Amino acid sequence: MPDGFDELYRKLLGLDESFSVKSHYPGFKSAEHSLVESAARLAALNENLERIVERRTEELRSANSELEERSRSLELALAELRGAQDSLVQTRYQASVGRVLASIAHELNSPLASAVSSAAHLASMRESAIDAIAALRSQPEPLAALVERLVKASGDDLGADPARKRALAQRLAALGCEEPDGTADDLADLGAADPSDGDVALVAGPGGAQAVEAAWALGSLFEAASLAAEAARRSALVVMSLNSYLEVAGSGDQVVSDFELAESLRSSASSVPTGPSQAVAFDLEDGILVHGDRVRLELVWINLFKNALHSAGTTGRVEIRSRREGGYASVAVEDDGPGIDPSIRDRIFEPLFSTKGTGEGKGLGLDTCRRIVDTHSGTITFESRPGRTVFTVRLPEARDGAVMP
């Protein structure tokens, strides 16, 4: 408001009798001009403000549109990421299945090849076996007893070195054996490369070579049968390991209940054979209830117990402990073996990875344990150094039928 305007305004309204329009006209015009200028400035400011508001509105509209576009792009990227993740999971699953199948095929190939070979040998020896039995029946008592001893000893010392065979052939030839070399080979195959002088005399005498041939035929049959049985056993172990591994995936088939942990551990340990010089100790807290599939959890205890016994060796010690730990049940399986090499500790739970020899392990046990424990909302860890390795399983404890989340 211009200076003096209030006074001028009062005079214009006749509130001041001394006011004269003529004498104050310049001041009035000046005030009027000031009012016009102020109004113009206000109009300009208003117009400028409207432009600013329009510009800011447009900028906000543009920014909002850009945000919407980015949101759509992020949603698309997230969908692609999820698709890629699903594809990766599927690829890894297929790769894992492929490795499992390849390993199982490899594990089965050797025993099955042995079984096929043994079965073929058994089939080819049919006529020889019949002839051997017939020859055995016609042998005099000393030779029959020799055949029995040779068959019983069959497989004890197979594959004698050539020098021993030559020495045996020379002993037989010196006593007049008709086929010293072939008879020496048969005796060596039977594990009798160093027979007594009395047996050498029997073999070198009348009917001796035929008796050895009969013993070789029968021993060969028994050896082939033993190899076939062992091959079948190894094949069955492979199938059993695979079956146990695949059963874990069928979580819908679990038989869930509360069961007493200490009793389950004792029962599981009793099903695993131990060596005569292996020491097994229990330090179990009774009364701990675990909620879950007892059969599958006992597969965990058995696998851990077997691994500990293997690590401990024929004269080692294994201890199984159970404790309550803040609402959880803790199971520790400890052995005094050489420990786990630091270079392979990251691979211990990897499927198909095993430190055991051929035919001793399939590399599925610890991975099976991990998967079973995972389905029970638990954890499995280990610590290892020379002379002490401990695998620890922690599971939610069931209290009065209530299961911890």
pLDDT tens-digit readout, 9-25: 555 555 555 555 555 56
Domain boundary residue, one of 216, 243, 270: 243
Instruction: Judge whether residue 241 has pLDDT over 70.
Output: no
Q: Is residue 55 part of a domain?
A: yes
Same domain, 221 and 84: no
Q: Could you tell me the pLDDT band of residue 404, with boundaries at 50, 70 and 90?
A: very low
139-155 average pLDDT score:
73
Q: Is residue 14 part of a domain?
A: yes
Determine how β-strand 317-325 pairs with β-strand 279-284. Answer: parallel
Residue 54 is predicted with a pLDDT of: 84
Residue of 305, 246, 285, 296 whose CA lies nearest to 100: 246
Name the domain count of the chain: 3
- Candidate ranges 18-22, 247-251, 257-261, 333-337; pick with highest mean pLDDT: 333-337
139-157 average pLDDT score:
71
What does the DSSP 8-state code read for residue 347?
Answer: G
Same domain, 259 and 391: yes
Q: Could you tell me the pLDDT band of residue 195, with boundaries at 50, 70 and 90?
A: confident
Among residues of the chain, what percentage have pLDDT more than 70? Answer: 73
What does the DSSP 8-state code read for residue 395?
Answer: E
Residue 321 is predicted with a pLDDT of: 96
State the chain's mean pLDDT as an integer. Answer: 77
Q: Where are the beta strands (DSSP E) in 221-278?
A: 256-260
Q: Is residue 158 part of a domain?
A: yes
Q: Is residue 103 part of a domain?
A: no
Residue ranges making up the domain that contains 178: 125-243
- For 393, list phi and psi in degrees, rounded to 5: -110, 130
Same domain, 351 and 392: yes
Q: How many helices (H) and strands (E) does the chain have?
A: 11, 9
Residue 218 is predicted with a pLDDT of: 78
Instruction: State how far the Cα of 221 lies from the Cα of 116, in Å rounded to an integer.
Output: 14
20-37 average pLDDT score:
66
Instruction: State how far the Cα of 49 lies from the Cα of 128, in Å rounded to an integer.
Output: 115
The residue ranking higher by pLDDT, 309 or 38, is 309
Domain boundary residue, one of 35, 70, 92: 92
Beta carbons of 143 and 207 less than 8 angstroms apart:
yes
CATH of the domain at 297: 3.30.565.10
Out of 21-25, 63-67, 162-166, pick the least confident: 21-25
Same domain, 282 and 146: no
Same domain, 133 and 223: yes
Q: Could you tell me the pLDDT band of residue 97, with boundaries at 50, 70 and 90?
A: low
CA torsion through residues 298, 304, 310, 314, sign: negative
The conformational region for residue 12 under phi > 0 = left, psi -120 to 50 = alpha, else beta, is alpha
Which tokens go with 178?
A: 């008709």
Q: Is residue 249 part of a domain?
A: no
Instruction: Judge whether residue 142 has pLDDT over 90.
Output: no
What does the DSSP 8-state code read for residue 155?
Answer: T
- Candidate ranges 31-40, 244-253, 352-361; pick with highest mean pLDDT: 31-40
Instruction: State how far the Cα of 232 lies from the Cα of 154, in Å rounded to an integer.
Output: 21
Same domain, 268 and 151: no
Q: Is residue 116 part of a domain?
A: no
Same domain, 226 and 139: yes
Same domain, 322 and 349: yes
Residue 336 is predicted with a pLDDT of: 94
Which tokens go with 237?
A: 């172990």
The conformational region for residue 148 under phi > 0 = left, psi -120 to 50 = alpha, else beta, is alpha
Residue 403 is predicted with a pLDDT of: 41
Q: Is residue 100 part of a domain?
A: no
Q: Is residue 354 part of a domain?
A: yes
Same domain, 399 and 281: yes
Same domain, 379 and 322: yes
The residue ranking higher by pLDDT, 21 or 90, is 90
The partner residues of 393 in beta bridges, in order of sequence, read: 331, 380
What global pTM score does this model have?
A: 0.46
Same domain, 186 and 287: no
Same domain, 260 and 362: yes
